[in-house]
Amino acid sequence: MATAATDTIPLQTGIIYGPVRSRRLGASLGINLLPSDYKLCSFNCLYCQYGWTSKPSLALDGHARNLPRTGDVAAALEDYLQRAARRKTKIDAITFSGNGEPTLHPELADIVAAARVLRDRYLPKVKLAILSNSSTIGRLEVQEALNALDLKLMKFDAGTEDMIRRLNAPAPPFYLGEVVAGLKTLKGVILQSMFVQGRVANTDPDSLEYWLEKVREIRPKLVQIYTLDRPPAEKRLWKVNLPTLQWIAGQVRWRAGVPAEVY
The answer for residues whose C-beta is within 8 angstroms of residue 62's C-beta and 6 or more apart is: none
The pLDDT of residue 187 is: 95
d(CA 8, CA 106): 28
pLDDT at 13 over 90: no
Residue 158, Cβ neighbours under 10 Å: how many?
A: 24
The pLDDT of residue 5 is: 41
Residue 21: name the closest of 92, 127, 78 by CA. 92
Helix/strand number for the chain, H first, E second: 7, 10
pLDDT digits (tens, 9 = 90+) for 94-133: 999 999 999 999 999 999 999 999 999 999 999 999 999 9
Question: What domains lie within the chain, and their CATH numbers?
Answer: 16-262 (3.20.20.70)
Tell whether omega for the bond before 170 is within 30 degrees of 0, i.e. cis.
no
pLDDT at 6 over 70: no
The pLDDT of residue 128 is: 99
Helix (H) or strand (E) run with residue 153 in it: strand 151-155
pLDDT at 9 over 90: no
Residue 250, Cβ neighbours under 10 Å: how many?
A: 12
Phi, psi of 10 (to 5 degrees): -70, 160
Question: Is residue 174 very low, low, confident or very high in pLDDT (cuts 50, 70, 90)?
Answer: very high
Phi, psi of 228 (to 5 degrees): -60, 135
pLDDT digits (tens, 9 = 90+) for 220-262: 999 999 999 999 999 999 999 999 999 999 999 999 999 999 9
The shares of helix, strand and coil residues in the chain, as percent rounded to the nearest 5, are: 35, 20, 45
**Residue 237 β-bridge partners:** 198
pLDDT at 2 over 70: no
Residue 243, Cβ neighbours under 10 Å: how many?
A: 8
Compute the mean pLDDT over every residue in the chain, rounded to the nearest whole number: 95
pLDDT at 176 over 80: yes
Residue 91: name the closest of 191, 14, 17, 9 by CA. 17
The pLDDT of residue 1 is: 36
What is the mean predicted confidence (pLDDT) over 5-26? Answer: 84
The pLDDT of residue 10 is: 82
Please state whether the predicted TM-score (pTM) of the whole model is above 0.75: yes
pLDDT at 3 over 90: no
Under the phi-then-psi rule, with left for phi > 0, alpha for psi from -120 to 50, and beta for the rest, what region is 188? left
The pLDDT of residue 46 is: 98
Of the chain, the percentage scoring pLDDT greater than 90 comes to: 90
pLDDT at 37 over 80: yes
d(CA 135, CA 172): 10
pLDDT digits (tens, 9 = 90+) for 61-97: 889 999 999 999 999 999 999 999 999 999 999 999 9
- Specify whether the CB–CB gap between 163 and 202 falls below 8 A: yes
